[in-house]
A and B are shown apart, each in its own frame.
Chain A
Amino acid sequence: MKKRLLLVALLLAVIGGAVGLYFYNLKMPSMATQEADLEISASALYEAFDTDEHSANTRYLGKILAVQGQVRQAQVLPDGTIKVVLETGRDFGILCEFDPNTSHARTTFEPGETVTLKGECAGLNFDVLLSRCAVVEE
């Protein structure tokens, strides 16, 4: 009886350890697999931050936003990171830094084309920054 109890405890410890190790080693998920919390236009998102950064942070920070807008500028950094700026009609835009953990079907974008990109809202730094972005397929 005592032996069986010990065996069960040991088994539970092993399972617990394995589960812990599994979660500990979990990689950042690809944005392609994540659902957007909110949909918003590029100009409305910028407007919200420009009007009141604090309340916009409360509303959008850490949320996955699907943002629709026109491409103002697209670039690929020397290390391969893709960055797309969406037009807001203002000096600064919505800067979308692409997710390194997603294999992107598209890596080039033309100025003027309309796209929907989803990413985690990281806040305002001149532009409103969306982190780990991926294209939302229509």
Chain B
Amino acid sequence: MNVELNIHFARLREGKGGILLAQILRTNLKYQVTAMKKAWLMAATAYLLFATAHAQKFMTRDARISFLSEAPLEKIEAINKSGSAVLDAASGRMEWKVLIKNFLFEKKLMQEHFNENYMESDKYPNATFKGELVNAQEVNFGKDGTYNVRAKGKMTIHGVERDIEVPGKITVSGGKLEVMSNFKVACADYNISIPSVVRDNIAKEIAVRVEATLTPLTRPQ
């Protein structure tokens, strides 16, 4: 390998002199040199494609964020269909944001209590996650495929910021990213206290589900 590389560099430095050098080498080595050139060309092309794909930002404003609280006496669920997300493919960095008042419940009282008693959405109108994909380099954003990923960063709910790491799945399909993630959020971690009279109605850990399709971000004209 070193020989091949040296020949390659020698050719680069000396121009035609390199060809003379190659001529005195055995035939099979000459083939290797040709193969090397091909490999270099392929690598360069791949790098360009990769770099182009990686310079891309992806976005959505239709992320579906839902949660489920399963307690002995009651099952409570809500869904928000207007979460936002921006993902920078080059760095794997991403930001998610969801407005608390847009979580829709089936029952009026549940939605009121969620906003007024637990999330205090007048004071803390949104929840955010700012972080990055731990294994972004394993995802080829330019090629269709499914990748298991981990996201690490800061989650802010109810005004409380915490470091979290959650698993997820990214499916690259026709230039779009389908993102899925399921994780648990403990109410106590975010200073959301549950009065003892309803402790059998509200789970201590809430199951959160994120589903989103991110499309390449094009700047407004």
Contact = CB atoms under 8 A, between A and B. Distances in A.
Interface of A: 23-29, 57, 61-62, 77, 79, 81, 83, 91, 95, 97, 100, 120-127, 129, 131-132
A126 B121 CA distance: 18
A131 B102 contact: yes
A125 B108 contact: no
Given A27-B108, A28-B111, A83 B62 contact: yes
Contact of A131 (B83, B101, B109, B220): B101
Contacts, number: 72
Interface in B52-70: 61-62
B104 A125 contact: no
B171 interface: no
A26 to B, nearest CB: 5
A125 B99 contact: yes
Contact of A100 (B61, B83, B104, B109): B104
Given A24-B109, A26-B108, A57-B125, A126 B84 contact: yes
B138 interface: no
Q: Which 8 A-B pairs have the closest CB atoms?
A: A122-B101, A123-B125, A122-B99, A122-B102, A131-B102, A26-B108, A123-B99, A125-B84
A124 B104 CA distance: 17
Interface string B106-137: 11110100010000011001100000000000
Residue of B82, B105, B108 ringed by the most chain A CB atoms within 10 A:
B82
Contact of A123 (B61, B101, B104, B220): B101
A132 B62 contact: no
Interface in B83-98: 83-84, 97-98
A133 to B, nearest CB: 11
B61 A126 contact: yes
The listed residue with most B CB atoms (<10 A of its CB), out of A24, A83, A97, A129, is A129
Contacts of A129: 82, 99, 102
A95 B109 contact: no
Contacts of A25: 107
Given A27-B107, A125-B98, 18 more contacts: A24-B109, A26-B108, A27-B108, A28-B108, A29-B108, A61-B122, A62-B101, A79-B81, A95-B82, A120-B101, A122-B82, A123-B101, A125-B61, A125-B97, A126-B61, A126-B84, A129-B82, A131-B104
